[in-house]
Amino acid sequence: MNHWLIVPIALPALLAPFIVLAMRHDLLLQRVFSLAGTIALLAVAIALTAQAATGPAQLYELGNWQAPFGIVLVLDRLSALMVLLTSLLAVVVAIYAVTSEWDTRGRHFHALFQFQLMGINGAFLTGDVFNLFVFFEVLLIASYGLMLHGGGAARMKAGVQYVVVNLAGSTLFLIAVGTIYGVTGTLNMADLAVKVPLVPAGDQAILRVGGLLLLVVFAVKAALVPIHFWLPGTYANAPAPVAALFAVMTKVGAYSILRFFTLVFGEDAGDSAWLAADWLLPAALVTLIVGSVGVLGAKELARLVCFSVVASMGTLLTAIALFTPAATVAALFYLIHSTFATAALFLLADQISERRGGAGGRLITAPRFAQTGLLAAMFFLAAIAMAGMPPMTGFLGKLMILDSARDANSMATIWTIILVTSLISIVGFARAGSVVFWKSASLPEPKQVASARPALPIAAAGMMLAAMIGLALFASPVTAYLETAAAELYSPNGYIQTVLGPKAVAEQY
Amino acid sequence: MELLVASGVGVMTATGVYLLLRARTFPVIIGLALLSYAVNIFLFATGRLTTNLPPVISSTATAYTDPLPQALVLTAIVISFGMTAVIVVLALRAYLEAGTDEVDVGSVDTAEGERPGGSGGSGAGGDQA
């Protein structure tokens, strides 16, 4: 067994209590260990991705218990990619939190941050549905703490809503898991893939209810209409580094939908094949519309970014809902891009709001602030990336999605909605940018321009922009990797054989 | 027994959802607690309802009860208990800082404007959507 598989979970899991217990009074030590931990995590994630890129899926049996009975971790190309994405984001967020001194506004930022990483990595690696629930809870509990970091009345109120919505979501998750267990007798995802086609016709309805309830749960995480309403309030009120980290949390929902509904309810699932597709596509398209209208209507910079997150989740889930290998490649490419773009926008919005004094993030004209030119240029780059304009990766991603939707029945609808909402987003971002940067420039010079603030936090946002440019430059090898990852998803026999041994698939056919 | 368990789960879920929709923190917390009780009993039932059977297979046992749902319920109880504790503390903090116990999605935008119901008045906000 390759013990490196558990390191992305074990490392933050051990580091977090160590930070709480041994160095809770020493912020400098916390920062050093937290940064070192995330960098080590990134190194491990790169090594794991390199391994996954060359070989078949790898299995890690916790406690050496065999697959349908024990809990397993599975590393295939998709989960390796997600872990890599998370750890890359984590390094940038950690740097931002330290340099912008967000971590001094409350206690235990770094410990909660590590717990959050543990939950996210665990959710990506696990091969068991109930274990997925547990890791969801781990990442949620940590996110409650992070979201409330720094306190304040507005944040508290938004926090209560966030916790209530997610507790209701967890309840639904348990009901779905129980329903599926009741008819299949297993919770291991690979074993479920084998058992689901064998479910008798009389139990099919119950199975489908369970599957669709699970879709609702993942849709809550992925902020799909009509259960997206918690996202703008939560993310807009969360501390900026936390909101940037949450960029990958919506992706946990998207990843779970992709993993579960290709593996368990994929082509071989008999009567329940492609269970999610009929529901997901319309919901995703409506999400896209709601998100981009929100971008146009937002009165505050952070809320504008939140709605652009909703819109990007709509685009991503539209591509996932097509459930074809080509569309999934496009979806995964867009997923990487939108994580970077979201994080960059949240960090920039925070830097801009900090500098505008009393005006904060509100979209009103305010006196000029320090480093306007640099921030304006970076906001421009991030905004065109998010809206999907060339030359940034958002354009490539949307182009791939449009191309992959060409053969779909609903091609006309998908193309119209994606293109029109892109235009609406561009208008929304342009309006925000011109109010914040141009109109303020035409105001009379204030008596004293606010003194320049440290540039290091801006560098963290710049790293996200650089990552996007890197993604655009290396689009071809990345796409080749994603094509193999998507091919793995749509022929799940390799995954099932890895988990259950070669016999399981032979029995089925 | 099936009818008793099923109606128990159903009534608790219905009550829980009703309380959740009241949009005031105290009923919402009670509602979430009821929902988690309903879920725990439901999880028990997924292993099929049996009485007086061992949870292990042995050479002498003729039948057994499924031990896995019991393990799942144990995990679920621990998590939901922790979560309830978190939200109780959080609701108290939010009440003390904001002066109202409403769980209102739109309130973030109107934070600076005084609400017509005043702070924490229990009967004032009864007819809001």
Query: Given a cut of 90, is residue A465 above it in pLDDT?
Result: yes
The sign of the torsion formed by the CA atoms of A224, A229, A231, A236 equals: positive
- Place A365 in a pLDDT band, splitting at 50, 70 and 90: confident
Q: What is the pLDDT of residues A187-196, one digit of tens each?
A: 999 999 999 9
Q: Which amino acid is at A433?
A: G
Q: What is the pLDDT of residues A99-133, one digit of tens each?
A: 988 888 888 999 999 999 999 999 999 999 999 99
Q: Which amino acid is at B22?
A: R
Q: Do B72 and A229 touch (CB under 8 A)?
A: no
Domain of residue B39, residue span: 2-49+63-101
pLDDT of res. A505: 60
Q: Give the span between the Cα atoms of B112 and B102, in whole angstroms.
A: 15
Whether A175 and chain B come into contact, CB under 8 Å, resolves to yes
Contact A299/A363 with Cβ under 8 angstroms?
A: yes
Q: Give the span between the Cα atoms of A495 and A75, in whole angstroms.
A: 9
User: What number of residues does chain B have?
Assistant: 129
| More reliable by pLDDT, A35 or B118 | A35
By CA distance, what is B100's nearest residue in A? Answer: A157
pLDDT of res. B97: 83
Whether A170 and chain B come into contact, CB under 8 Å, resolves to yes
Write the CB contacts of A72 (distance below 8 Å, at least 6 apart in sequence): A59, A60, A61, A62, A126, A127, A128, A188, A499
- Place B127 in a pLDDT band, splitting at 50, 70 and 90: very low
- Write out the H or E segment, with its range, that includes residue A60: strand A58-61
For an interface test with B, the pick among A131, A163, A166 (most B C-beta atoms closer than 10 Å) comes out as A163
- Place B128 in a pLDDT band, splitting at 50, 70 and 90: very low
pLDDT of res. A508: 53
- State the CATH number of the domain containing residue B34: 1.10.287
Q: Do B90 and A170 touch (CB under 8 A)?
A: no
pLDDT of res. A246: 92
3-state secondary structure of B67: coil
Q: Do A175 and B42 touch (CB under 8 A)?
A: yes
Using CB atoms within 10 Å of the CB of residue B40, give its burial: 0 to 12 exposed, 13 to 18 middle, 19+ buried: buried
Mean pLDDT, chain B, integer: 79
B119: in domain: no
Asked if ipTM goes beyond 0.90, one says no
Contact A82/A506 with Cβ under 8 angstroms?
A: no
pLDDT of res. B110: 43
B38: in domain: yes
pLDDT of res. B64: 84
Single out the residue of A298, A464, A328, A299 nearest to residue A386, CA to CA.
A464
Q: What is the pLDDT of residues A377-393, one digit of tens each?
A: 999 999 999 998 887 88
Q: Give the span between the Cα atoms of A56 and A273, in whole angstroms.
A: 25
Mean pLDDT, chain A, integer: 90
Q: What is the pLDDT of residues B70-90, one digit of tens each?
A: 899 999 999 999 999 999 998
Whether A179 and chain B come into contact, CB under 8 Å, resolves to yes
Q: Give the span between the Cα atoms of B22 and A130, in whole angstroms.
A: 30
Q: What is the pLDDT of residues B26-55, one digit of tens each?
A: 999 999 999 999 999 999 888 888 888 888
pLDDT of res. A37: 96
B33: in domain: yes
CA A318, distance to chain mean position in Å, is 15
| Chain B residues 46-105 with CB within 8 Å of chain A | 46, 68-69, 72, 75-76, 79-80, 82-83, 86-87, 90-91, 93-94, 97-98, 103-105
Q: Give the span between the Cα atoms of B92 and B120, in whole angstroms.
A: 12
Single out the residue of B97, B92, B95, B50 nearest to residue B70, CA to CA.
B50
Cβ atoms within 10 Å, residue A64: 8
Choice among A16-25, A184-193, A291-300, B115-124 with the minimum mean pLDDT: B115-124
Distances (CA, A) of A86 to A83, A118, A336, A457: 5, 10, 10, 19
Distances (CA, A) of A485 to A268, A384, A404, B26: 19, 28, 16, 47
Bridge partners (DSSP) of residue A126 are A73
pLDDT of res. B102: 80
Mean pLDDT within A384-409: 89
Query: Given a cut of 50, is residue B129 above it in pLDDT?
Result: no
Distances (CA, A) of A2 to A12, A37, A489: 19, 21, 22
Provide the whole-model pTM.
0.91
Q: Give the span between the Cα atoms of A345 and A304, in whole angstroms.
A: 10
B116: in domain: no
Write the CB contacts of A92 (distance below 8 Å, at least 6 apart in sequence): A244, A343, A460, A463, A464, A467
- Place A504 in a pLDDT band, splitting at 50, 70 and 90: low
Q: What is the pLDDT of residues B91-106, one digit of tens each?
A: 888 888 877 788 765 5
Q: Do B94 and A156 touch (CB under 8 A)?
A: yes
Q: Tally the domains of chain B.
A: 1
Single out the residue of A218, A216, A405 nearest to residue A322, CA to CA.
A405
Q: Do A160 and B90 touch (CB under 8 A)?
A: yes
pLDDT of res. A447: 55
| Chain A residues 322-351 with CB within 8 Å of chain B | none
Residue with tokens 């709480």: A20
Determine phi and psi for A365, rounding to 5 degrees: -75, 140
Residue with tokens 């009379």: A444
3-state secondary structure of B124: coil
pLDDT of res. A222: 93
Q: Which of B32, B42, B108 sits opposite A157 (nearest CB)?
A: B108
pLDDT of res. A451: 58
CA atoms within 13 A on the CB side of A449: 12
Domain assignments of chain A as residue spans, ordered by start: 3-508
Query: Given a cut of 60, is residue B119 above it in pLDDT?
Result: no
